[in-house]
Amino acid sequence: MSRGKILVVCGPTAVGKTRLGIELAGEYGGEIVSADSMQIYRRMDIGTAKATKAERAAVPHHMLDVAEPQENWSVARYVEEASRCCDDILARGKLPILVGGTGLYIDSLIAGRDFAENDGDAKLREQLNARFDALGAEAMWEKLKAVDSARAEKLAPSDRRRIVRALEVWTLTGKTITAHDEETRRLPPRYEAGCIVLTYADRAALYARIDRRVDEMAEQGLFEEVEALLRSGVPADCTAMQAIGYKEAARALRGEISRSDALDLIKQASRRYAKRQLTWFRRAEGALWIEWTGEPDFAAAMERIRTSGLTAFD
């Protein structure tokens, strides 16, 4: 059976991924599948730069607004749900276009990774957590080292969740999580992907674009969005509220910092995140890199894509 064929539009924040995805969907009969770890959450629209209602009306979008902010989503759950979306799009003769900046989500979906945590046992996990409390972090780390030294060396003794998960996999399967991951990596990828990476040729131009995006978010009502989430009962310490833009705005709403200082912190954190994203996407083999030199020229980008052979899926 041939692999499903998908397009990927990725890159750092604020480079025009959403717009290019929509252009591609229009030309190639596609539907958008979001690959953003924060856009899955409902009522978090401005701070995540989610596609607008008009954009969603123009092209079907998937994996937006699929979770409440209080929920903790793992990459395994994302792969499970997003692959279901991609398979449905393919079955209807359409092209899935994966759009976003969360590199781990993108790579994991393409690979179709079978994550070990899917095979978990809640009762065993509870027992291991109780043992962690009784024996302490160092002792549990030593137990992991005794059966899977390779994984233990990658983890700090304080990394409770991953240590417990690794011991859970070992207890249930008799196989280390290191061995499980190695076997998974040897499997052929689930999808054949053509990858487009957007960025700016000049890093300063990218950072200026990010700063402008943050100012626009404030004008659109970022602080009001965060205030509404908190008033609705969303805990300030939940995973979703630790996203860039949300935790800083929450601090301002609590009076810990000014709104101006919050925006400066959001810009700084966003620039750092963009740098990490670029580092991740440089690993993409065979990707078509489109580097803006001024305002994004989507017509020129589409022409490059047409002539690149990227959509031929050889």
DSSP letters, 236-259, are TTSSGGGSTTHHHHHHHHTTSS-H
Phi, psi at 77, each rounded to 5°: -70, -40
Q: Look-up: residue for tokens 């499997």?
A: 187
CB neighbour burial string for 243-252, b if at least 16 within 10 angstroms, e if fewer: bbbbbbbbbb
pTM of the model: 0.83
Domains of the chain, start order: 4-114+187-312 (3.40.50.300), 116-186 (1.10.20.140)
- How confident is the model over 7-17, as a mean pLDDT? 97
pLDDT at 122 exceeding the cut of 80: no
Using pLDDT thresholds of 50, 70 and 90, give the confidence band for residue 1.
Answer: very low
Mean pLDDT rounded to a whole number for the chain: 92
Q: Which residues contact 287 (CB under 8 A, 6 or more apart)?
A: 195, 196, 197, 281
Q: Which residues contact 74 (CB under 8 A, 6 or more apart)?
A: 115, 117
Helix (H, G, I), strand (E, B) or coil at 109: helix
- For 15-69, write each residue's pLDDT tens digit: 999 999 999 999 999 999 999 999 999 999 999 999 999 999 999 999 999 999 9
Amino acid at 231: R
Closest listed residue to residue 104, CA positions, set 127, 125, 124, 77: 77
- For 130-163, write each residue's pLDDT tens digit: 999 999 999 999 999 999 999 999 999 999 988 9
Q: What angle do CA 73, 75, 81 make, to 5 degrees?
A: 80
pLDDT at 2 exceeding the cut of 60: no
